[in-house]
Amino acid sequence: MIFFLIALIAFLIDQATKYWIATSLTINEQIPVIGNFFLITSHRNRGAAFGILKDQRWFFIVVTTVVLIGIVWYMLKIRKSGNRLLQTALALVLGGAVGNFFDRVLTGEVVDFLQFNFGSYTFPIFNVADSCIVVGVALIILDSILEIRREKQQAAEIKQEEQV
């Protein structure tokens, strides 16, 4: 299935970039990409997004295992639906979740390296897996909005047909 290939590609890109950072830079070393706005910064995160729940490795492993099983189950359930947007979204979430899960299982921490500064505010440093998850969730939300619109349109068409 093409969508599991998308998840695999997301995972491989994530792992390759993390390996490059981990082997090429020391922790906290920075490479400016676009001035002080975008930097490659070697960072390790022992928690979840924004560093919350730091050092809760087993909690993340258990929760992520349940989530991964749910995503794979749902991807298999909808595989014949023809909903490519939702399938792509789930594939991105799956690839990203597996990427961070893999790090947590092996080392207990996640390699982060994408840093953006907005004036004096520094957005929390993240990685390719995080990006895949965020884009995937955004696409799931978009698919939900589009599905609601489709259902409303179908209901309006049925109501119009009943009036004729």
Place of tokens 């953006």: 116
Element (H, E) at 68: helix 57-77
In sign, the C-alpha dihedral spanning 114, 10, 110, 93 is positive
What the block records as the tokens of 32 is: 């400016």
Could you list the beta-strand ranges (E) of 50-147.
Answer: 110-118, 121-126
Does the annotation count 112 as an active-site position?
A: yes
CA 81 – CA 94 distance, rounded (Å): 18
What the block records as the tokens of 16 is: 């390759």
Given 14, 103, 130, 143, the catalytic residue = 130
Does the annotation count 55 as an active-site position?
A: no
Given 14, 103, 112, 143, the catalytic residue = 112
CA 102 – CA 20 distance, rounded (Å): 16
CA 78 – CA 89 distance, rounded (Å): 12
Where in the sequence numbering do the catalytic residues fall? 112, 130
